Amino acid sequence: MQHGESLLERIRELTAELAAQRAERQRRRQLDPGDFDRLRAIGLHEACVPVAYGGLWEGARRSARTLAEVYRTLAGADPSLALAASMHPTVLSFWRDAEVPAGEPGADAWEAQRQEVFTTALDGAWWGTLTSEPGSGGDIGRTRAAARRDPAAPGGWRITGEKHFGSGSGATSFMITTALPDGEVEPAWFVLD
């Protein structure tokens, strides 16, 4: 990862400071959005955006080990913060790692969506997940949430259902979730802001 060592060094400096607050941090029952501001200030939000879009990600061979070391180091000081922050690269990998070849149906729309998602990350937005449901055993394919077109918002959806875990709640700008669209047999992904 280009600039990876520099990012890792900044994470090490931050975690030394966070480790001194370990007892207080372990008593917390919610995330501190200020922690995400600090992670943003050192550039972590850019680490999983491809270089071609202005980020630091140079592909799995060059970047994955450094990014894993960054999160392992952060977890040594605050495991909850590391877990919630690690959802950001996980979610962005849906757009980062999927390609629709130019000329294929939907390629232009896919590229526009990728550009929009990566721009939000580069602008400082954090992404998280809101997918767990009671009784699903963590299997997002077993969602019972329903998605219906929203007549009041062209292109929009209304999602109803019960979700019980939102990774990064209170600190994220966007969440992904799953629901079963009307008339479909397979669940689909949705973005919530």
* Alpha carbons 67 and 18: distance in angstroms, whole number: 19
Q: Which residues of the chain have pLDDT under 50?
A: none
Ramachandran angles phi, psi of 26, nearest 5°: -70, -20
Tokens in use for 58? Answer: 């140079």
Q: pTM for this one?
A: 0.87
Q: What is the per-residue pLDDT across 98-136, written as a single tens digit (0 to 9) for each?
A: 889 999 999 999 999 999 999 999 999 999 998 888 888
Give the model's pLDDT for residue 1: 55
pLDDT of residue 44: 94
Name the residue with tokens 């809101």. 130
- Can you tell me the distance from the alpha carbon of 190 to that of 177, in angstroms, rounded to the nearest whole number? 5
Spatial contact of 71 and 85, defined as CB atoms under 8 Å apart? yes
In this prediction, residue 3 carries a pLDDT of 62
